[in-house]
Amino acid sequence: IVLLSGPAGLGKTTLANVVARQAGYAVVELNASDSRNVPDFEKALEGAVRTSRTITQGTRPNCLILDEIDGAPAEAVRYLVKAVQVTGKKAIRRPIICICNNMYTPALRELRAIALNIQVTPTSKERLIERLSTIAELEQVSVDRFALQRLVELCQCDVRFSINTLQFVSILAKKERRYVSIDDIQKAVECEKVGSSSIFENWSTMLDFTHHFDKKGVLKALPDRLRLVERVAIERGDERFVSGLHANYLSVNLPMKTIRMGAEAFIYYDRIMLA
């Protein structure tokens, strides 16, 4: 079992997929944070490591990739640790690659002790600029080195964020048959900034009033605050994000009427998800 860690956007999941396929395995990818309890996690794990063949995979053995293991419940991680330590006929004989942003998350302490720990370091700015330049040339995107340098700086050497932003700005530039400008990149990064923020920052945007002041300490206008909240909801409207809101919204000092409206919204969300 391998524990692959490093900042978001470095390509850890892609790396795990490529290595597994080159080694001759059929990749089974699961998002560990989607399993909210041990039975769900156990079912997903057993189905992945015990199944030896499918119609599309042929006879290749499986390699299980568990993404976002640092977002899985602590009980599920403990179950995984016990499962991989079983010997005899019930032993798991398939490789497992666990992926996380922070390997020192308390829930991963037992897993760190038994896994091969590999930390993926951030890509250097120059190397990423060269790679983006190659991609732009292959995709026939007109962009100069100064714009790419600014892109990498704004994206803080996040490979995924940089590539996605370049793809986004290239669409309009191609239609208008012009170069991608630094201004294009700055506007695109600002639009995508919510998606690159951590889930904790996004929770704070929804629940903490202080996240809605500008650099001068002035409270932003209501329409601007609502637009930001709406963007966060669209970008982060998954079960993990909603569960975090549900666990923390009562800690905010709000009128009872507002709290009741929030509770009704959570009930409505549950009904939609169960429909």
Residue 49 structure tokens: 């490591």
Let me know whether 72 and 147 are in one domain: no
Q: What is the pLDDT of residue 51?
A: 59
Q: What is the pLDDT of residue 50?
A: 66
Residue 114's alpha-carbon distances to 35, 49, 81, 85, 100, in angstroms, are 22, 18, 8, 9, 16
Let me know whether 148 and 182 are in one domain: yes
Q: What is the pLDDT of residue 194?
A: 52
Confidence check: pLDDT of 91 > 80: yes
Work out how many domains the chain is built from and give that number: 3
pTM: 0.64
Residue 160 three-state SS: helix
Domain boundary among 119, 150, 175: 119
Total Cβ atoms within 10 A of residue 97: 27
CB contact set of 199 (below 8 Å; sequence gap of 6+): 236, 240, 241, 244
What's 188's domain CATH number? Answer: 1.10.8.60
Residue 93 structure tokens: 């004989």
Q: What is the pLDDT of residue 52?
A: 53
Let me know whether 65 and 172 are in one domain: no
User: Where residue 197 falls among pLDDT bands split at 50, 70, 90?
Assistant: low
Could you please report the per-residue DSSP string of 59-84? TPPEEEEEETGGGS-HHHHHHHHHHH
Domain boundary among 196, 217, 240: 196
Let me know whether 30 and 110 are in one domain: yes
Distance CA 154, CA 189 (A): 7
pLDDT digits (tens, 9 = 90+) for 120-143: 988 899 999 999 999 999 999 899
Let me know whether 109 and 11 are in one domain: yes
Q: Which domain holds residue 167?
A: 125-196
Burial 222-241 (b: 16+ CB within 10 A, else e): eeebeebeebbbebbeeeeb
Domain boundary among 75, 91, 119: 119
Confidence check: pLDDT of 119 > 70: yes
